[in-house]
A = this chain, B = another copy of it.
Amino acid sequence: MVDVTVWNEFRHEREDEAVAAAYPDGIHETIADALDDEHDVGTATLDELDHGLTDDVLEATDVLLWWGHEAHDEVTDSVVDRVHDRVLEGMGFIALHSSHYAKPFKRLMGTSCSLQYREDGGTERLWVVDPGHPIADGLDGSIELPETEMYGEPFDVPEPDRQVFISWFEGGEVFRSGCCYRRGNGRIFYFRPGHETYPIYEHAAIRRVLRNAVEWASPPEGSPRTFGERT
């Protein structure tokens, strides 16, 4: 039982009918629904006080999932500081899709996190390149998503500790879609799939990955909260 918080920008769903149709309760609720059979799941959104990420919420969170897209800049630096500190203490952090540009992810990576993209609704196939990794547990050799936005290389991130997925796109591109990192005591997973109109987070195999990633990213029992105190 892991204490999970699903964070969502939650703007597209309230501004755009197509998005509201795909995710009527918000992307966060669909993701939470994929996790709450096994875990204790809360949600938080941009327009709540402190974006819903108070000290108390973060203190009680083992793994934070993050979905942002059009309003990365509205996330205040004090909340970014707080999230960053908690990851270094040991909280898991899972950045989804367009959250490659989310402030906490960029802070953790130290790079621009830029990539290529094209909105073309083509097919994506995610290949499992590390079949023994816990995040690939229970999956077949690949996951096919019939309609997606394309993300292409080069993806400006540090060389991943473990590469779990690489995507093939119908239009001719590839992308490192599942990347594992450790920073401080915290585990970080970037997972590409997800979009505001394609119902990616309803897909059974994608939901399985989210559950596996939450298990993998949760801190070990009794792990330390500090790093590098002074002698």
Contacts and interface: CB of A to CB of B under 8 A. Distances in A.
A203 interface: no
Chain A: number of interface residues, binned into ranges: 35 or more
Interface in A105-159: 107-112, 114-118, 125, 127-132, 134, 137-138, 141, 152-156, 158-159
A220 B134 contact: yes
Among A125, A176, A231: residue with most chain B CB under 10 A: A231
A29 to B, nearest CB: 29
B184 A111 contact: yes
Given A159-B182, A166-B153, A112 B88 contact: yes
Nearest to A118: B231
Interface stretch (A10-18, A38-46, A47-55, A222-230): A222-230
Contacts of A219: 132
A227 B112 CA distance: 8
A231 to B, nearest CB: 5
A173 interface: yes
A168 interface: yes
Most buried by B among A118, A153, A158, A174: A174
A6 B154 CA distance: 31
Interface string A160-180: 011100111100111010000
Interface in A187-231: 219-224, 227-231
A26 interface: no
Given A132-B185, A183-B110, A137 B173 contact: no
Contact of A231 (B109, B117, B131, B184): B117
Top-8 shortest CB links A-B: A132-B185, A114-B228, A110-B110, A129-B153, A156-B227, A108-B110, A134-B220, A116-B231
Given A115-B228, A125-B172, A132-B227, 11 more contacts: A88-B111, A111-B184, A114-B228, A132-B185, A134-B220, A138-B222, A154-B228, A156-B227, A159-B163, A166-B176, A168-B169
Interface of A: 88, 90, 107-112, 114-118, 125, 127-132, 134, 137-138, 141, 152-156, 158-159, 161-163, 166-169, 172-174, 176, 181-186, 219-224, 227-231
